[in-house]
């Protein structure tokens, strides 16, 4: 049972290919069932367990786990409506010698294990199946899904049938898109991977703890990274981005706009067309509080023309022509609305859509949300899991843009810089707890840095 950070994310097709490359499928199901039995046995303590088994190999895993847990002394019952269909599941069912209760009349148990459907779900659950699953889950004190909560679409995280909210989901071999993408991810609860000896690789990964650029004895403010934040109509947003860049570790932050006041470490200058001429600038952040008034387009054109590495956020995303050639390394940080404005209707999952957008814009894209997806033009993807719902507040995007600027200016390549910023932002939100404001979030970057 390992946490998912850093794991490759596999679609159904990729998972099947990985399984097929592994040889004997019966042995794989036995290993999957054994891994489930060990994990559920540990989570259950001595409590009674009810396993719901479906007609495919997800159900097969359930029958194997039921047999092994019973042999290990656990009190296990099995409920199923459909006879198994796949050869593997038929064999697993045959080797379960206990009774199989109908789902509709099965009595609840404190530990509910959902082995109804996994990666093979092709349509919504039948009403009676969904009703039984919800009834038994509601009555349980611990709900565990095997591979996926039954009812979610593996590859895009949509929910053909809304499953109950699980406490734990045991992903077999690797996480799948539905473990990370909303709304499915929310229903999965804590996701842990069970290693069943299937080697997995891919170019999409769960965002892992970054290696952050720390200063050394030889460091000075410019070597730590100089960030220029271009201000505009709303000084507060650009100031928040500036503060976040400082808190994320930049050695020198230059705020180019109106307004004054603390922090005293922030260098303030009015915007001028030659304001970005300083070659020591490592990254320019533009968009937070830029507004849409006169001159904002010219500021964006100056920033793009400066050749400095760029973080383009907020209002600047409304002005940007994503298809126009750019020479500078660029990170774009759209939320869903900005993403739709820039790239039109999304195709496929959020992972697919973000990957295609990164190729098209030739930029690293941070597609924000409760399931932030980061994609690079070369096809690499990182997905952030488990961010705080309290991040849905004004100004938190400005903080992310500033942090991304700091990471770029410190010398991280753009995909790594974006990932590091998203990680720090999420970690800062976690230490802020509930109902924080964007200023608290920016301040908390220092604590998680």
Ligand X SMILES: NC(=O)C1=CN([C@@H]2O[C@H](COP(=O)(O)OP(=O)(O)OC[C@H]3O[C@@H](n4cnc5c(N)ncnc54)[C@H](O)[C@@H]3O)[C@@H](O)[C@H]2O)[C@H](O)CC1
Residue ranges of the annotated binding site for K(+) are 58, 114, 150
With a CB cutoff of 8 Å and minimum separation 6, the contacts of 38 are: none
Beta strands in 195-321 (DSSP E): 204-206, 226-230, 252-256, 267-269, 283-286, 309-312
Binding site members for AMP: 368-372, 397
Binding site members: 57-61, 114, 118-124, 147, 150, 237, 289, 335, 368-372, 397-398
Distance CA 72, CA 37 (A): 9
CB of 169 vs ligand X, minimal distance in Å: 11
C-beta closer to ligand X: residue 83 or 277: 83
Interacting partner of 296 out of ligand X, K ion, none (Cβ under 5 to 8 A depending on kind): none
- How far CA 80 is from CA of 52, 144, 209, in Å, comes to 6, 16, 41
Strand pairing partners for 286?
230, 312
Interacting partner of 85 out of ligand X, K ion, none (Cβ under 5 to 8 A depending on kind): ligand X
User: 285-306 burial string, b = 16+ CB within 10 Å, else e?
Assistant: bbbbbbbeeeebeebbebbbeb
C-beta closer to ligand X: residue 86 or 223: 86
CA-based nearest residue to 172, from 193, 190, 191, 200: 193
Token digits of residue 403: 């942090």
Stretch that binds K ion, among 83-91, 111-119, 269-277, 375-383 (CB under 5 A): 111-119
| Residue 97: DSSP 8-state | -
CB atoms within 10 A of CB 347: 10
C-beta closer to K ion: residue 68 or 144: 144
Residue holding tokens 């690499």? Answer: 380
How many residues would you count in the chain?
449
342, 320 contact by CB (below 8 A): yes
Interacting partner of 114 out of ligand X, K ion, none (Cβ under 5 to 8 A depending on kind): K ion
Distance CA 179, CA 157 (A): 7
Residue holding tokens 């097709």? Answer: 13
C-beta closer to ligand X: residue 125 or 168: 125
285, 311 contact by CB (below 8 A): yes
C-beta closer to K ion: residue 114 or 315: 114
Binding site members for (6S)-NADPHX: 57-61, 118-124, 147, 237, 289, 335, 398
Q: Write the interaction track for ligand X spanning residues 62-91; mark x where CB under 6 A is met and - where it is not.
A: -----------------------xx-----
CB of 148 vs K ion, minimal distance in Å: 5
Residue 146 makes contact with K ion by CB under 5 A? yes
Strand pairing partners for 383?
206, 373
Residue of 70, 119, 150, 296 interacting with K ion (CB under 5 A): 150
CB of 169 vs K ion, minimal distance in Å: 8
Stretch that binds K ion, among 90-98, 108-116, 181-189, 391-399 (CB under 5 A): 108-116
With a CB cutoff of 8 Å and minimum separation 6, the contacts of 304 are: 310, 326, 328
Residue holding tokens 């990729």? Answer: 14
Among positions 144-203, residues that touch ligand X (CB under 6 A) are 146-147, 172-173, 196, 198
Residue of 41, 54, 213, 395 interacting with ligand X (CB under 6 A): 54
Interacting partner of 122 out of ligand X, K ion, none (Cβ under 5 to 8 A depending on kind): ligand X
- Chain contacts with ligand X (rule: CB under 6 A): 15, 19, 28-29, 32, 54-61, 85-86, 117-126, 146-147, 172-173, 196, 198
- Chain contacts with K ion (rule: CB under 5 A): 114, 145-146, 150
């Amino acid at each position: 049972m390992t946490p998912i950070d850093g794991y490759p994310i596999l679609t159904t097709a990729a998972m099947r290919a990985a399984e097929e490359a592994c040889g004997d499928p019966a042995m794989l199901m036995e290993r999957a069932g054994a891994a489930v039995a060990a994990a559920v046995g540990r989570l259950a303590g001595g409590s009674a367990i009810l396993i719901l088994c479906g007609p495919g190999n997800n159900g097969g895993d359930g029958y194997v786990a039921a047999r092994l847990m019973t042999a290990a002394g656990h009190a296990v019952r099995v409920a199923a409506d459909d006879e198994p269909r796949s050869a593997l599941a038929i064999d697993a069912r045959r080797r379960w010698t206990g009774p199989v209760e109908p789902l509709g009349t099965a009595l609840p148990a404190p530990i509910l294990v959902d082995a109804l459907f996994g990666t093979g779900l092709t349509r919504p659950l039948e009403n009676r199946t969904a009703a039984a699953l919800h009834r038994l889950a509601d009555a349980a004190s611990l709900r565990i899904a095997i591979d996926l909560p039954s009812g979610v679409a593996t590859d895009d995280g949509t929910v053909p049938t809304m499953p109950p909210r699980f406490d734990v989901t045991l992903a077999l071999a690797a996480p799948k898109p539905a473990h990370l993408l909303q709304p499915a991810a929310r229903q999965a609860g804590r996701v842990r991977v069970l290693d069943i000896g299937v080697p997995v690789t891919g170019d999409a990964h769960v965002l892992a703890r970054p290696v952050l650029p720390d200063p050394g004895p030889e460091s000075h403010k410019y070597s730590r990274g100089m960030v220029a934040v271009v201000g505009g109509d709303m000084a507060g947003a650009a100031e928040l981005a500036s503060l976040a860049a400082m808190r994320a570790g930049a050695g020198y932050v230059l705020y180019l706009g109106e307004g004054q006041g603390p922090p005293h470490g922030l260098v303030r200058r009015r915007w001028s067309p030659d304001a970005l001429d300083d070659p020591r600038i490592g990254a320019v952040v533009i968009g937070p509080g830029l507004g849409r008034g006169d001159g904002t387009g010219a500021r964006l054109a100056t920033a793009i023309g400066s050749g400095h590495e760029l973080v383009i956020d907020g209002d600047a995303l409304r002005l940007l022509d994503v298809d126009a050639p750019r020479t500078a390394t660029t990170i774009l940080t759209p939320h869903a609305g900005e993403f739709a404005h820039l790239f039109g209707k999304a195709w496929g999952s959020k992972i697919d859509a973000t990957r295609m957008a990164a190729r098209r814009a030739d930029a690293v894209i941070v597609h924000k949300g409760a399931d932030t997806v980061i994609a690079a033009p070369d096809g690499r993807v990182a997905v952030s899991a488990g961010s705080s719902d309290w991040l849905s507040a004004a100004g938190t995007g400005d903080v992310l843009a500033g942090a991304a600027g700091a990471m770029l200016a410190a010398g991280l390549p753009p995909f790594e810089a974006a990932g590091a910023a998203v990680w720090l932002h999420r970690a800062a939100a976690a230490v802020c707890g509930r109902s924080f404001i964007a200023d608290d979030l920016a301040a908390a970057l220092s604590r998680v840095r």
